[in-house]
A and B are shown apart, each in its own frame.
Chain A
């Protein structure tokens, strides 16, 4: 999967969980600082990414992800190893 596609799907997922417009999710946004996600929602992101990309994410590592970019990186890596 292309980086670009990953990024746009990630942004879609985030927008869905936070109930905001996709445009408001910048590529370098920090979940908490820029998007105002709370801890519950951070967890939901992980679950939503897993659902969207059909991958398994390691809990501890997943909780370290704090930005959109970070998520894209992680997912790209996960896709590469799990496919």
Chain B
């Protein structure tokens, strides 16, 4: 790009237009520079000005000629056709083509900054000890490993070093406002890196941060926002008086309405309005909408907070060092309270106040209620809740992210080797409790919760229903394409597990990514040993695990089938397979019909959760989504019926075919 100094006549023009410069010789311009487009602007330090021959459009209609007006500028470069007006002071910034900066108090970089890359936030544990370094490429999975794998110190050190390398490269004396961005009507921006297609309007104060964006998925920071030490990624929207301090706001996240957060990380599609959050690790699709809700010192994902949800992480002994884990899909009812340290199992609804420490990780899909001051768990009940099923389906449709590079890896299946694995554990736990109890006992106690003895068997039954349903469905999917012409040999080929079988056992939920423990451990080892040399490669390896889900899932299913049938998969005969399919189909239909019934509705009624507000906002318009209208209920019920019909018809076809095959 050719640049040159200002000519005398250009300087004269600028001067008559009210411009001043500490030293005109420090100003370089592009050929084609038009001095008439620079008025009442004061310059100091080296400045570069590009062409200014186009126009920019402003809100409310009308277009304005590109140029610099009424501003004070120090050591900045301006690419072609920027529009800069009424900027109190801009220093040490590079402005890309077409950028609009209007009515901003101050936009400066002071000293050396990493723009919040590398800032460690005290997450999950308010008193520290689980520090998470945030940076502009942080994914939910990497964050999870950083925060939750503190027991693997070599791994942690290696990973932190990789991150350090990355964040070191982000250090700079200079800031940048990338193409397609606009900053308007703001107060003070200090040490803020602004990516592409970012809109910042009406923000009060932003300090030490990065706002990333891309044309496919612009990001937005709106009126009254105050943020310090923050990273905001593409597609995110932080608006209306939100206050962020040491926070990571991931892709597609919506925050606003005076939401206040400190030391928190929010991953894909989270929403935070009106509430307060401290040391919160919010995995994908976590949602909180109410004024009186506090979320503190916990890890959550696919979470919905009822109004007035609260927790304590204090024991008044050693300070606020306790933490909670709410596994994926947990919902809390209005004014529910939990006492950390506690751990609540996946897809469990929590209602009422719980003053003891509890651990229900091995009893997923349960209802946790309060009765006479005691925590009462009804296992497996949420499998029968129509809301659970509906929620799982809605998340897929609500992925707002449009960035071609989606950082967070998310698996959505409600039933998967993780949750079903937990159910299998749950069956064992409940059986143990049942066997160990006497008929005189009304309740049994398990890890801080009471369970009604009579409902133990019910829990086992419903878990078994879910397990059978899941295995049957996976098997039926595999076999359906072969029906009706294939042979037993074809079947064997179709159900054969992958080469990595049989190392799998337990699965883990790595903040949205569901994977066999072995695969995760492999990656952890690789990082620890230094075999993974940069974050890109780490992300790639995680993505490979993500993409191989169906393969690993089948391996796991085969493993479980082996256990239940008591023989290796090579020995499976059509009758055994038929049995699995039959049971699976029956369970699916049975479950659907229970869902259709009253049972689910009643639990909703008693727990208020059905009347809570869940759901997302569109474009900052409606604060709340109106659900549970009569139409939606009917539509969903019809879906269930169709599902049952489909399953039944498929079952009959498969059973007829398998029946005809006999044994090999």
* A contacts B: CB pair < 8 Å: yes
What is the distance, in angstroms, from A44's C-beta to the closest C-beta of chain B? 4
Quick check: which of A20-28, A47-55, A70-78 contacts chain B, the rest being far away?
Answer: A47-55
Name, among A40, A43, A60, the residue most crowded by chain B CB atoms within 10 Å (CB to CB). A40
Decide: A38 near B594, CB < 8 A? Known: A44-B454, A47-B455: no
What is the distance, in angstroms, from B222's C-beta to the closest C-beta of chain A? 44
Instruction: Decide: B455 and A59 in contact? CB cutoff 8 A.
Output: no
Interface flags for B431-453 (1: CB within 8 Å of A; 0: not) read: 00000000100000000000010
A50→B458 CA distance, assembly (Å): 10
Quick check: which of B34-42, B114-122, B568-576, B597-605 contacts chain A, the rest being far away?
Answer: B597-605
User: Which chain B residues border A68 with CB–CB below 8 Å?
Assistant: none
Decide: A59 near B461, CB < 8 A? Known: A40-B378, A47-B454: yes
Q: Which of B455, B593, B598 contacts A44 (CB 8 A)?
A: B455
User: Which chain B residues border A39 with CB–CB below 8 Å?
Assistant: 599, 602-603, 606
A56→B545 CA distance, assembly (Å): 43
A63→B590 CA distance, assembly (Å): 12
Instruction: Decide: B455 and A51 in contact? CB cutoff 8 A.
Output: no
Contacting residues of chain B (54-100) with chain A, CB-CB under 8 angstroms: none
A43→B456 CA distance, assembly (Å): 11
Instruction: Decide: A40 and B597 in contact? CB cutoff 8 A.
Output: no
Q: A-B contact count, CB below 8 Å?
A: 40
Is the C-beta of A17 less than 8 angstroms from some C-beta in chain B?
Answer: yes
A44→B376 CA distance, assembly (Å): 14
A53→B164 CA distance, assembly (Å): 67
Is the C-beta of B457 less than 8 angstroms from some C-beta in chain A?
Answer: yes
Instruction: Decide: A48 and B590 in contact? CB cutoff 8 A.
Output: no
Instruction: Decide: A44 and B599 in contact? CB cutoff 8 A.
Output: no
Instruction: Decide: A17 and B454 in contact? CB cutoff 8 A.
Output: yes
User: Which chain A residues border B461 with CB–CB below 8 Å?
Assistant: 59
Instruction: Decide: B603 and A43 in contact? CB cutoff 8 A.
Output: no
Contacting residues of chain B (574-597) with chain A, CB-CB under 8 angstroms: 590, 593-594, 597
A27→B606 CA distance, assembly (Å): 28
Instruction: Decide: A43 and B594 in contact? CB cutoff 8 A.
Output: no
Q: Which of B456, B599, B603, B606 contacts A63 (CB 8 A)?
A: B599
User: Which chain A residues border B599 with CB–CB below 8 Å?
Assistant: 39, 63
What is the distance, in angstroms, from B318's C-beta to the closest C-beta of chain A? 38
Chain A residues at the B interface, C-beta cutoff of 8 Å = 17, 38-40, 43-44, 46-48, 50-51, 59-60, 63
Which 3 pairs from chain A and chain B are nearest by CB?
A47-B454, A39-B602, A44-B454
Chain B residues at the A interface, C-beta cutoff of 8 Å = 378, 439, 452, 454-458, 461-462, 465, 590, 593-594, 597-599, 602-603, 606
27 A-B residue pairings within 8 Å (CB atoms): A17-B454, A38-B606, A39-B599, A39-B602, A39-B603, A39-B606, A40-B378, A40-B452, A43-B454, A43-B458, A44-B452, A44-B455, A47-B454, A47-B455, A47-B457, A47-B458, A51-B439, A51-B454, A59-B461, A59-B465, A59-B590, A60-B590, A60-B593, A60-B594, A60-B597, A63-B597, A63-B598
